[in-house]
Amino acid sequence: MIQAPVKVKKYGGTSVGSVERIRKVAGDLVEEHRHQIPQVVVVSAMAGSTDELVDMAFKVANRPRSRELDMLLTTGEQVSIALLAMAVHDLGSNAIALTGAQCGIVTDGNFAQARIQDVQTAKIHRLLEDGNIVIVAGFQGVTLDQEITSLGRGGSDTTAAALATALKSSCEIFTDVDGVFTADPAIVPEARLLPWISYEEMLEYAASGSRVLHPRCIEIAHKFNLPLQVRSSFKAKAGTTIIRKEILEEVAITGVTGDAGIARIALTGVRDVPGIAAKISQSLADAGINIRLIIQGIRHDQSNDVSLIVPEQDAQRSGEVLQPVSREVGAEEIQIDTSVAKVSVIGSGVASNPSVAARMFQTLAKKKINIQLISSSEVRIACIIEQDQLESAIRAIHKEFGLEQLERKKVEPA
């Protein structure tokens, strides 16, 4: 029995956001089915439906319990897989819709942010061999006790990566953009689509405000060396493939991203004693707030200013949570500034090429953009700047590095 390799495809909420779009996706699946390509299709909830359900939950209860919130939210994907399977039948191909439980996506019991522990593939293989398109609900799993769990935001990407890994298949993420660009084309019209990008770079894109792929999905793909392809569900274009750094020709930087959804919290005049950062981190972690960046700047009078970057929607609550810590470490005051933004340059050559940082800072200086904080990693340099200067910063950096002419090549393995 000769069969083409299995393809795992993931369609996001916008791609299945209406009856017409569901029929369009069904048409694409049926077309590939006619070419005998075995397909496992992971689907998100229809765009907007998750927000509607969350909204209802918070009308019914002040603090909806996470077990029942997961039970509620997972209905969104159950609706979209059922509809997509019906649409495929209607076009004459066989399809089977499977919930996370039916598919055998086993997770731990951490509701709202469950981790996948096992993906059972026997049923999927059997259904594929019987000639079905297998349509799987993203975002959801089941514990060994039959409890319904969700994988948290972006969970459908994670489902797709986990299934592709378990099935040793390729993984295509269909979305409402054409792929990963050197910058947001809405800000930089000359931005170029990146045909290739490394896992490390893509993780930085995800952490730097790009909503294209969820970080957990990239981590799974990276861990298991799974090539991911991000492409448009509306156009027949190749998109961006995410692969190992070693098979990419190194270029200094591959893109510029901006993130306006952040806030800066500063504790000023903190006593210079060890363990302050740990105290602050712990308080915010206990409150479920994700710190994006924490920086201690030394002042001359033996006291510190400690600055944190948090998601903008958590700013007010962070201030409240930090009140007791602030008193404990003798801080003068807590400042909250939501008018900041982060501009990042991303590229596998950042670490090995110190001139990248220098050129970035000079470009911002020439534009009279003040840099408030800097952080860097192997593949990223991020600057916190004034929010109203963000677009101008992105355009200037994109131009400085000549990204409108970027040609990224894959290096054929030896």
The smaller minimum CB distance to its own copies, of residues 122 and 414, is found at: 122
The smaller minimum CB distance to its own copies, of residues 88 and 213, is found at: 88
Tokens of 338: 């939501």
The smaller minimum CB distance to its own copies, of residues 147 and 219, is found at: 147
Tell how strand 303-311 and strand 170-175 pair up.
unpaired
CB 236, min distance to its own copies, A? 23
Order of strands, edge to edge, in the sheet holding 196-198? 95-98, 133-137, 39-43, 7-11, 170-175, 228-232, 240-243, 196-198
CB 97, min distance to its own copies, A? 5
Tokens of 88: 């495929």
The smaller minimum CB distance to its own copies, of residues 80 and 344, is found at: 80
CB 88, min distance to its own copies, A? 9
How many helices and strands, by DSSP H and E, does the chain display? 13, 20
The smaller minimum CB distance to its own copies, of residues 137 and 161, is found at: 137
CB 66, min distance to its own copies, A? 10
Coil, helix or strand at residue 295: strand
Q: Where are the beta strands (DSSP E) in 108-187?
A: 116-119, 133-137, 140-142, 148-150, 170-175
CB 81, min distance to its own copies, A? 7
Give, as one character, the DSSP assignment of residue 39. E
CB 128, min distance to its own copies, A? 17
Question: Interface with its own copies by CB under 8 A: which residues?
Answer: 19, 22-23, 53, 56-57, 59-65, 67-69, 71-72, 74-75, 78-79, 81-83, 85-87, 89-90, 96-97, 99, 101-102, 146-148
The smaller minimum CB distance to its own copies, of residues 26 and 360, is found at: 26
CB 22, min distance to its own copies, A? 6
The smaller minimum CB distance to its own copies, of residues 93 and 344, is found at: 93
Closest CA to 280 of 263, 293, 262: 293
CB 49, min distance to its own copies, A? 10
Measure the CA–CA gap between 136 and 140, rounded to whole angstroms.
9
Q: Give the DSSP letter string of 305-322.
A: EEEEEEEGGGHHHHHHHT
Q: Is 353 exposed, middle or buried (CB count within 10 Å of its CB: 0-12, 13-18, 19+)?
A: middle
The smaller minimum CB distance to its own copies, of residues 87 and 221, is found at: 87
What's the sign of the alpha-carbon dihedral 134, 137, 139, 141? negative
